[in-house]
Amino acid sequence: MSLIWRSIFNVEGADGEATLLDSAESIFAAWCKGKCHPNGVELPVLSSASGGKPIIVGDIEFTLRLVQDEGVRIFRGTCFEDRQGERVKTTFTAIDPVSDLPTAWIDLERWSDEPYGQQWLPVAPGFVSELISRNWTCLNKASRFRSAPFELRGADRGVKLGKHLIRDTRTVPVVVVTPTNVESNQGNLQPAVKRGQNILKRVLGIASVMVLDADAALSLKEYLDENVGPNFHTVGGSVRTYWPGLKLGDRPIRHRFQGYQTVTAASTDGGSLLVAPQIIKGSTEQSPPEFWSKVARPLLDSHEGQDAEELLEEIIQLETELEKSREDARALKVEHEEILDDLMYTQEIAEDENAGLRKVNEQLRAQIRTVGSEFDPDLAIDGPWGLRPPESCADLLALLHRLETVQFPQDLWKPTRELDSQDGRGVYAKQAWAALLAMEHYAQRQGSTGFNGDFQAFCKEFGDIAISPSKVIMRESETTSASKQMRADRTFHVAGNEVFMESHIRIGGGKPPAPRLYFFDDTKGETAKVHIGYFGEHLQTKSTN
């Protein structure tokens, strides 16, 4: 199954007289009963006394095991649900080594009948909240988890948070939620707390959620401005995720910022659907607790007896087959990339040949317009929005002021002007102008007509006001992205930040200069615009190096 959610934390102290291992079985069993009661199914007594044998109730299968040995106690419970169209497995492991703090470890795994359908974003299992809300201290190194958002009020709390954010020992993301100016003026922090709760329900046990009042947000901004750099603020109803490793010289764009209008959109569930996915994905890359592989797992296996040995042999065999499958997959990937390269080369040759035919076609159409304009002047202008299509890149630059949601800074025009020295300047200008107009339509429709995809998806769905989707490349190759020089060539300034632009439009055919138009899609971000970073001859790649 595919791992989709993981939480690991230590539990310090005791809830009254009960430790984590004293309560783990009862907490998990109560959660399992809640799974069955809504379906009208009476759950039998769940206990680790079953020795890990499956307990099947309807479409749900439970297992509970408790193993004790000198110096360690382990509880492990699983819940496997066969739902309509999917299978979901929840695994809860509690480990109590005498020599260290007890550890709680929760995994969610899933299979789907439609793996490429609508993505499913999980919420934290209910018993995680039960664990964290007990009178224990739940920690992931320097970060403490709570079942409700932290509410920070006052300038001193903002400074204290800033010191925590830049701490080297911080290992979990911190989500900062702020009130709007109206909420701050009314002294009402509750709407921001509600937004924080919506986010926390999905990242509980993975990330900390902090709700700041206006004074705390301002002091945090000032602290980060001084100790990290500008543009790391979170104010005015916005939400920001601060990843571990925040330090002087870091890039603001790495720490995802969501403006108030984006966060409060009905489709975002109070911002949780924007903030949580990246955090949850990162949680699945955590390694299991070190104590698990060295002590706990062998101990569980040893208590399984002969069945465990047979299972281990089966695992080894499956791992061998898996490695062979991976080798076959790598070989197929290489073959696929070679075929794809051949297809792209053939396509560029065809487009290069078609460019000549299009040029002849444009000349004929121009002659028709010239003749027609003698009888009807309106026939002389057939471009979009009643504009004559540009005949050169200089003409193209002169039309940019008519675009409202596409930004192309003047200090980046030099490579564009240099294209006018090429024979294909007219073709380049017209194709680039068509792409810019398509981006203008795309940015204006983003989110307002039910469309919420990227620019390539827009071109596929709105062909009458777009360009060919095959012209749109959303990602660079791994080789290009990994190259320091080629990455630097594709890094441009956007709204005061440096942005690595992978998305680009192929202009003209495959022959040099083979122009490319690089852009950064921020229509869902703070600026709500498409930013052009470069339009000029083909940038360096591995094949041109």
Q: What pLDDT is stored for residue 377 in this prediction?
A: 41
Q: What is the C-alpha to C-alpha distance for residues 104 and 292, in angstroms, rounded to an integer?
A: 11
- Give the chain's end-to-end CA distance (angstroms, integer): 42
Q: What pLDDT is stored for residue 367 in this prediction?
A: 63
Who contacts 242 (Cβ-Cβ below 8 Å, separation ≥6)?
A: 165, 173, 174, 175, 176, 255
| pTM score of the predicted model | 0.55
Q: What pLDDT is stored for residue 375 in this prediction?
A: 43
Q: What pLDDT is stored for residue 383 in this prediction?
A: 47
Report, in this order, helix, strand and coil percent for the chain, each rounded to 5: 45, 20, 35
Q: What pLDDT is stored for residue 433 in this prediction?
A: 94
Q: What pLDDT is stored for residue 114 in this prediction?
A: 86
284 within 8 A of 6, measured Cβ to Cβ = yes
Mean pLDDT of successive 10-residue segments in the chain (545 residues)? 89 76 87 70 58 78 83 86 88 82 90 82 89 84 88 96 94 94 92 94 95 95 94 92 93 90 73 90 86 65 51 67 81 80 70 68 61 43 59 93 92 92 91 94 78 89 87 91 92 90 90 93 92 93 60
Q: What pLDDT is stored for residue 97 in this prediction?
A: 78
Q: What pLDDT is stored for residue 452 in this prediction?
A: 82
Q: What pLDDT is stored for residue 23 in this prediction?
A: 87
Residue with tokens 């000032």: 222
User: Which 3-state string (H, E, C) describes 156-173?
Assistant: HHHHHHHHHHCCCCCCCC
The 3-state DSSP class for residue 251 equals coil
Q: What is the C-alpha to C-alpha distance for residues 479 and 541, in angstroms, rounded to an integer?
A: 8
